[in-house]
């Protein structure tokens, strides 16, 4: 195991990211300024007041770079330009300025594991012979079998099907852990490292505050690319406590040598003024392995997917919270809390299932349909848990509206390569990527100036529109406003968890002056002593808290 080069932990006080609330914008689906039905950077700019009013600290933008959009922009053909779908570099600069003017930091997405097959490098590779320097940037290999017609190993793509393809007429195979239009780079090649350091500098020079690093656990593959009998998956449906050791541990994931890359990057970030950060998307278990990505000289944060995958179960949540806090503390990093993103079924819908929390990888019309009201009730209670925890919390756009997954989208609209590559066996991620509702009754629910939306908006979305919720005291948006304000006021992000005695299926802890009570059961329970300052539902009085409800009290 590689030990950090220095072991002293910098003082926590000044690092904004240690307790930041970070709002994920999925640009395609946030707001559309030019009316083509696809969200864009000017659309985000036009909603800057909304974002500033929300009370978050930073915005993470999913990819907006030049891309053929095979994987919604996670297939980048030019890392230093904005795709015309989303605007221009000038639009980006304007957005960054407007955000900074409102004390909002900007984190951009970095996709280093693979490029698009339309990237200049991959085109050059295909035009060059086996053994060329152009091919050495990717994972080209000769096939197995007498005539090389068998793939070099048995790996499967995360999106289904084989992980190797051959270009038309080409003798060699290339590796793609994702779609065949997303060839994996060879991170043992120094030229690849130099190129990405330059990409980092490009965006740091423009003033970004950090990077969300895509597939951070995948860049280095085990030497020799050994066969692997297991499934190649990222999102693992099993919660931490049920996961047997060995899940997601194939030779394509979490190799020790990957950490040297992040040490190099950290040195670059630290050489810039301000306090720049990186957050790892690493589907890695257990927490102690994940913590290696956030050692003092590596990344600053890693997404806590054990928390995202937790069930609606008080002891399980408590165990995961404690393990997350302990693992992060071990390396001096902040814990993070996330319940949804653009790759997983929206939390409101997962919590509305009869086994709440299952099915992170998609709910189809043929599956059990979530109970929308119950899911929302639980999601509001869960938000009161998440936003009360010390460390850094993530909100996926629409979560603050209580927006559900679209679980009934007809197959003809689906665009996720996982849906196509598995022949529909995996329903895919389109249901959590539906354009946001801003104005009930307007065309495209106010997403854009016209009626066009790149995915259809289900009928029920009007009821969640921003204009319906703004100023409405019981709305989910106003609950988020209140929680984010109280979290800031009471310094909850810098605090600590002190568990209090509680009945089964109830979590009670104090964080500074705030006492947090979450009732995951169905029956009313007695509230502990303290005056309510926020609640996820109307409190019936007499000191009772209904099932699937939560409250914040001031500690007496």
- Binding region for ligand GLC (CB under 6 A): 71, 74, 111, 178, 214-215, 234, 281, 342-343
Minimum CB–partner distance for residue 78 and ligand GLC (Å): 16
Site for Mg ion in 27-86 (CB under 5 A): 32, 34, 36, 38, 40
Using alpha carbons, select from 221, 234, 213, 226 the residue that is nearest to residue 158.
234
436-440-441-445 Cα dihedral, nearest 10 degrees: -10
Minimum CB–partner distance for residue 34 and Mg ion (Å): 4
User: Alpha-carbon distance 268 to 264, whole Å?
Assistant: 7
- Residue 38 or 204 with smaller CB distance to Mg ion: 38
CA pseudo-torsion sign 466, 470, 472, 476: positive
Give the range of 25-33, 331-339, 366-374, 385-393 binding Mg ion by CB under 5 A: 25-33
When CB distances are held under 5 to 8 angstroms depending on the partner's kind, the choice from ligand GLC, Mg ion, none that residue 34 binds is Mg ion
- Residue 43 or 251 with smaller CB distance to Mg ion: 43
When CB distances are held under 5 to 8 angstroms depending on the partner's kind, the choice from ligand GLC, Mg ion, none that residue 302 binds is none
Number of amino acids touching Mg ion (CB under 5 A): 5
127-128-130-135 Cα dihedral, nearest 10 degrees: -90
When CB distances are held under 5 to 8 angstroms depending on the partner's kind, the choice from ligand GLC, Mg ion, none that residue 38 binds is Mg ion
Minimum CB–partner distance for residue 460 and ligand GLC (Å): 25
Neighbours of 105 (CB within 10 A): 24
3-state secondary structure of 476: helix
For β-strands 140-141 and 173-175, DSSP reports them as antiparallel
- Residue 350 or 429 with smaller CB distance to ligand GLC: 429
> Which sequence positions are flagged as catalytic?
214, 281
Residue nearest to ligand GLC (CB): 74
Phi and psi (nearest 5°) for 107? -115, 130
Using alpha carbons, select from 73, 74, 71 the residue that is nearest to residue 83.
73
Minimum CB–partner distance for residue 235 and ligand GLC (Å): 8
- Residue labelled with tokens 């639009």: 91
- Residue 74 or 438 with smaller CB distance to ligand GLC: 74
User: Alpha-carbon distance 251 to 156, whole Å?
Assistant: 12
CB neighbours of 69 closer than 8 A, spacing ≥ 6?
75, 83, 85
- Residue 293 or 480 with smaller CB distance to ligand GLC: 293
- Residue 4 or 424 with smaller CB distance to ligand GLC: 424
When CB distances are held under 5 to 8 angstroms depending on the partner's kind, the choice from Mg ion, ligand GLC, none that residue 214 binds is ligand GLC
Using alpha carbons, select from 333, 350, 353, 329 the residue that is nearest to residue 341.
350
How many whole angstroms from its chain centre is CA 372? Answer: 23
H helix count then E strand count, the chain: 15, 20
CB neighbours of 165 closer than 8 A, spacing ≥ 6?
173, 174, 176, 180
Minimum CB–partner distance for residue 84 and ligand GLC (Å): 21
When CB distances are held under 5 to 8 angstroms depending on the partner's kind, the choice from ligand GLC, Mg ion, none that residue 343 binds is ligand GLC
Minimum CB–partner distance for residue 454 and Mg ion (Å): 9
- Residue 258 or 465 with smaller CB distance to ligand GLC: 258
When CB distances are held under 5 to 8 angstroms depending on the partner's kind, the choice from ligand GLC, Mg ion, none that residue 71 binds is ligand GLC
Minimum CB–partner distance for residue 359 and ligand GLC (Å): 18
Q: What share of the chain is helix, strand, coil (3-state, %, to 5)?
A: 30, 15, 55
When CB distances are held under 5 to 8 angstroms depending on the partner's kind, the choice from ligand GLC, Mg ion, none that residue 74 binds is ligand GLC
Residue ranges in contact with Mg ion by CB under 5 A: 32, 34, 36, 38, 40
């Amino acid at each position: 195991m590689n030990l950090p080069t220095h072991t002293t932990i910098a003082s926590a006080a000044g690092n904004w990211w240690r307790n930041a609330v970070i709002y994920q914008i999925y640009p395609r689906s946030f707001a559309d300024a030019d009316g083509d039905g696809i969200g864009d950077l000017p659309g985000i700019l036009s909603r800057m007041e909304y974002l500033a009013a929300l009370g978050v600290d930073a915005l993470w933008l999913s990819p907006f770079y030049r891309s053929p959009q095979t994987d919604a922009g996670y297939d980048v053909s030019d890392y230093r330009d904005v795709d015309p779908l989303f605007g221009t570099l000038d639009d980006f600069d304007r957005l960054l300025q407007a955000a900074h003017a409102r004390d909002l930091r900007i984190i951009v997405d970095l996709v280093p594991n693979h490029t698009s097959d339309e990237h200049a490098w991959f085109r050059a590779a295909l035009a060059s012979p086996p053994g060329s320097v152009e091919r050495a940037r990717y994972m080209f290999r000769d096939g197995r079998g007498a005539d090389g017609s068998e793939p070099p190993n048995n790996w499967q793509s995360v999106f289904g099907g084989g992980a190797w393809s051959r270009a038309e007429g080409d003798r060699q195979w290339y590796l793609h852990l994702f779609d065949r239009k997303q060839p994996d780079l060879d991170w043992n090649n120094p030229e690849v490292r130099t190129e990405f350091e330059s990409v980092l500098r490009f965006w740091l020079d423009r003033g970004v505050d950090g990077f969300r690093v895509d597939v951070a656990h995948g860049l280095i593959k085990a030497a020799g690319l050994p066969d692997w009998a297991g499934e190649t998956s990222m999102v693992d449906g099993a919660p931490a406590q049920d996961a047997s050791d060995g899940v997601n541990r194939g030779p394509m994931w979490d190799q020790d040598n990957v950490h040297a890359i992040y040490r190099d990057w950290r040195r670059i970030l630290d050489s810039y003024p301000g306090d720049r950060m990186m957050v790892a998307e690493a589907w890695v278990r257990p927490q102690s392995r994940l913590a290696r990505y956030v050692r003092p000289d590596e990344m600053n944060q890693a997404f806590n997917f054990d928390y995202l995958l937790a069930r609606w179960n008080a002891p399980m949540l408590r165990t995961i919270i404690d393990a997350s806090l302990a693992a992060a503390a071990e390396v001096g990093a902040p814990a993070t809390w996330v319940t949804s993103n653009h790759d997983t079924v929206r939390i409101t819908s997962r919590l509305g299932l009869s086994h709440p929390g299952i099915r992170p990888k998609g709910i189809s019309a043929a599956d059990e349909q979530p109970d929308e009201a119950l899911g929302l009730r639980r999601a509001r209670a869960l938000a009161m848990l998440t936003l009360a925890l010390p460390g850094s919390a993530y909100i996926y756009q629409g979560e603050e509206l209580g927006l559900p997954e679209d679980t009934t989208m007809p197959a003809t609209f689906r665009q996720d390569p996982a849906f196509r590559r598995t022949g529909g066996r995996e329903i895919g991620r389109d249901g959590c990527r539906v354009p946001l509702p801003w104005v009930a009754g307007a065309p495209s629910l106010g997403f854009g100036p016209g009626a066009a939306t790149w995915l259809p908006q289900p009928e029920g979305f009007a009821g969640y529109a921003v204009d319906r919720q703004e100023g409405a005291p019981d709305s989910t948006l106003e609950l988020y406003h209140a929680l984010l304000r109280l979290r800031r006021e009471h310094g909850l992000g810098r605090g600590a968890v002190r568990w209090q005695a509680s009945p089964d299926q109830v979590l009670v802890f104090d964080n500074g002056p705030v006492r947090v009570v979450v009732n995951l059961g169905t029956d009313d329970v007695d509230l502990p002593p303290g005056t309510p300052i926020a609640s996820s539902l109307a409190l019936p009085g007499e000191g009772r808290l209904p099932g699937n409800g939560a409250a914040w009290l001031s500690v007496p």
